[in-house]
Chain A
Amino acid sequence: MAKTIMVVDDSASLRQVVGIALKGAGYDVLEGGDGKQALQQLKGQRVHLIISDVNMPNMDGISFVKAVKQLPAYKFTPIVMLTTESADEKKRAGQEAGAKAWMTKPFRPEQLLGVVQKLVLP
């Protein structure tokens, strides 16, 4: 059965670009337009890995990661931050919130797939 990965980004085109890369590798993809919307979508779903942007309206990526880690069902779900941000203090904030990896955009699809395959739980 295919693993499900949630992609959270306020850019629809970026979500589609990530979706193309993931679907091509056989993953199912769930999309969220911002942190708040993604939290709603997580309810009742089985998601194996989350890829999130940092700068988003309504709820930013760091707050989203913190909120996800409060959900018992997603306490151990790996989260990858995929963002244009590359400042060390932002990375530290992501790490402290509970993210597992930090990737900067633009990314290469094969590079993203490498990270996903490394982190996705069986």
Chain B
Amino acid sequence: MALLGAVAAFTVAGLSWSAATAAAVLLAIGIAMAWHGHRQHRALLRLLAGYVSGHEHFGEAVAPVWSGHIEASRAQMESAVASLAGRFSGIVQKLDQAVQASGASSRSVEDADSGIVAVFSKSENALGSVMQSLQQAMSSKAEMLAQVQELNRFIEELQQMAADVAKIAQQTNLLAINAAIEAAHAGETGRGFAVLAQEVRKLSAMSGDTGRRIAEKVSVINAAIVAARHSAEAATQREGETVLESRDAIGAVLDDFRGVTDALVAASEQLKQESIGIKSEVSEALVQLQFQDRVSQIMNHVKANIEGLPEVLQQQRLQFEQQGALQPPQSQALLKALQDSYAMAEEHALHHGKSAPHAAAPQPAEEVTFF
């Protein structure tokens, strides 16, 4: 502006002293203004260079710290979850052993051949057979007693027969006495008959004796039979009571044993159900434990992307220094690199704002691709 004024002064006023002075002053002012402008421009450039360089330093300073924190968090989480998974593995192994033991226990209870229930059933049958045999033996004894009872009738008949013999002997004796009287009346001719009557009397006495002895023996036999019958009846009663007591005792033992086996069967069934529940819980826990792998991958992707930030800011500085162009940092390249690093569908969805960060954890994929 001042330079133009100087030229104008020369043109308008010609080469007069005053015009030359004015032109010189204006020229000096112009030169001073140009020098000042140049200095301001250089200062602005320095300021911009410092600003761009500061951007780069900012990126170089914060990116490693951010990245370091992410990596430290990821590593801590990896270590903690690995430790958790290790402990869980130990728990699962012990649970497996417990479930196997309960399976063996169930088999020892429920096995069709050697299980407790089968043994109980066989024992029950065997004891039932024993009771049946005892009751059959009791029935046999009762039959035997009835037969002994029958002997009474024969005893009575024998006693009657003995009485008959005594009666016949008595009558024979009377006949012999009468015969002896008649023989005495007959005198000498009846002497032989008197001897015969005497012999008949002897025979009659002997018959009477025999009849009494038979009656005595029958009485003795009768007494022995009665005593034996009483003993047998008492023994049968005792045995009957014993059989009943045995039956009750066996029944009570079987009831107790049944209670135990029923409880064992119920416990075994409960263990089976519990083991099914435990397996299901373990399966679900194994799905949930996989979150660390997914989160770790996401953190790795973000960390790598943060580590790319200093390069973007460096590019901005180089562009400014080499081309004099000052462009704001470009997010596209960084975001493209981040997108290219994604492995999971949820990362892509989140990138496009389709899923909230607090969305529920993804469910296990139900399909498998076989090649």
Chain A residues with a Cβ under 8 A of chain B? 9, 11-14, 16-17, 19-21, 23-24, 54-55, 83-86, 91, 94-95, 99-111, 114-115
Query: Chain B 258-290, CB within 8 Å of chain A: the 1/0 string?
Result: 000000000000000000000000110011011
Q: Is B16 an interface residue (CB 8 A)?
A: no
Residue of A nearest to B280 (CB): A110
Q: Is B330 an interface residue (CB 8 A)?
A: no
Residue of A nearest to B77 (CB): A13
In the complex, chain B residues 107-150 whose Cβ is within 8 Å of any chain A Cβ: none
A99 to chain B, nearest CB (A): 6
Cβ contacts under 8 Å, B89 to chain A: 16, 19-20, 23
In the complex, chain B residues 318-371 whose Cβ is within 8 Å of any chain A Cβ: 343-345, 361-366, 368-371
Can you list 18 residue pairs at the A/B interface with Cβ under 8 Å? Answer: A11-B292, A13-B81, A13-B289, A17-B85, A17-B289, A54-B343, A84-B297, A84-B344, A101-B370, A103-B369, A105-B290, A105-B365, A106-B287, A106-B290, A106-B361, A107-B287, A109-B286, A110-B283
Q: Is B93 an interface residue (CB 8 A)?
A: yes
Contact indicator A20/B345 (Cβ below 8 Å): no
Contact indicator A106/B88 (Cβ below 8 Å): no
Contact indicator B286/A20 (Cβ below 8 Å): yes
The B interface, classified by DSSP as helix, strand, loop or mixed, is helix
Residue of B nearest to A100 (CB): B371
CA gap between A9 and B289 in the complex, in Å: 15
Contact indicator A55/B343 (Cβ below 8 Å): yes
Residue of A nearest to B81 (CB): A13
Contact indicator A17/B290 (Cβ below 8 Å): yes
